[in-house]
Structure 1
């Protein structure tokens, strides 16, 4: 289906309270939506395709098998991994909005437990590879809307962290890649990325598998990016990103955990990075 025709159809569906007359059309139209998930038309991509996916998944319009098919599509080389490693081109929209659909599917799984364990592990591996290789860190792009790779990837990790299938080792791996994304120095995050990452970290901590000593060790490792002797703009950016993240994490964890030692560590790091 051509993009302009799809846009007209989706506008009509949204105006019709997200309903279609024939149930079997939800799935076929969703497949067409995935073909255009990376469009540079922000209204079609964000306001229509993503929001309609979110609405239909919440309304249980798809079978468990259909959701599994969507997950397989979204994690393939034409979606989540499409041209990963490219920077400042439009392929970023395909990757990041595929990630958002993955987050929707994993959220649904966390409510209904319909994905087999192997798909959870495969998705964890895919998002780990994607998040590690993604270097297009732009948030909002003028005339094209949100790219937001760091935030969208964190949304997937947030949902994955709540999957009971994942072990302590899996959760520790997710903490590692989140930290790497926080501590990059090529770009200073300006579009709320530290907040989204801190929500994912909270979900990891809330699983109860990561003990206090491991949390403290992870937090302490942020000091490795502080170097006053060998100053560079990249190190300065790393410090800004790390400090902003720790500030966000402090308030994100408030009300979720009551470990004074962890909060003291975070406060200390904010003041001493």
Structure 2
């Protein structure tokens, strides 16, 4: 199926309230959608492919085996890892929208527990590798739509953090990963990335495996960036990203966390960094 043909068919599917005749066709269409998940046509990619995938997964249109098949496709070298490390290249759309589909599948797994421990472990390792190597930090790209790698990656980590088979060391690894993305100074986040990262951090903090001491130690690690003040533009960008993150984190956490001292420490970081 060509890209234009798929677009016309998906427009009709949305007009038909996400329903098609023939249960087996949902899977067939989904495989075609994954072929074009990285199109630079933002309507096809975001408004149609991602939107329809989201509806179909939440409507249980796919079997557990089919969802696992989609997961492995999204994790492969032609999807999540396609062009990894490149900057300002169109391959970013394939990576970041594959990440969103992975997040949807993990959400479904967190509701129904159909992925094995081994599959989740492999997924976690690949997400860590992806988020570490992702260098294209752009949010919205003119005429092509959302790239948003940092936000989409945080969405996946948010769902991973809720996988109960992840242990303390896994969760700590995810916190380190998120800190690295927060503390970069190459690019100032302007498209809501700090809030999306904050939501992922909250999911990790809410796990019983993570205690107050773990949280305090993680927060303490940000103080070293204050000592790195060298008046460079990179340091200033880093300062803006960290400060905006903690402002978001405070409001994301305040109705969830019981330890007032944690909120106090976050407030202190906002004012002293």
Residue of structure 1 in register with 2:55 after alignment:
55
Counterpart residue number, 2:217: 217
Give the paired residue count: 273
**2:185 and 2:238 in contact (8 A); partners too:** yes
| Equivalence map 1:1-273=2 (5 Å) | 1-227=1-227, 230-273=230-273
- Give the distance between the partners of 2:88 and 2:206, measured in 1 at CA: 35
Inter-partner Cα distance in structure 2 for 1:65 and 1:244: 41
In 1, Cα distance between the equivalents of 2:141 and 2:200?
Answer: 24
> Structure 2 unaligned runs (5+)?
none
What CA RMSD, in Å, does the superposition of the two structures yield over aligned residues? 0.8
TM-score (normalised: structure 2): 0.99
Structure 1 residue 231: Cα displacement: 2.0
Shift of 1:228: 6.2
Unaligned runs of 5+ in 1: none
Q: Give the TM-score of the pair, scaled to structure 1.
A: 0.99
Distance (Å, rounded) in 2 between the aligned partners of 1:105 and 1:43: 22
Mapped partners of 2:210, 2:194: distance in 1: 21
How many angstroms apart in 1 are the aligned matches of 2:253 and 2:55? 29
Contact 2:182 2:241 (8 Å CA) reproduced: yes
| Inter-partner Cα distance in structure 2 for 1:223 and 1:137 | 24
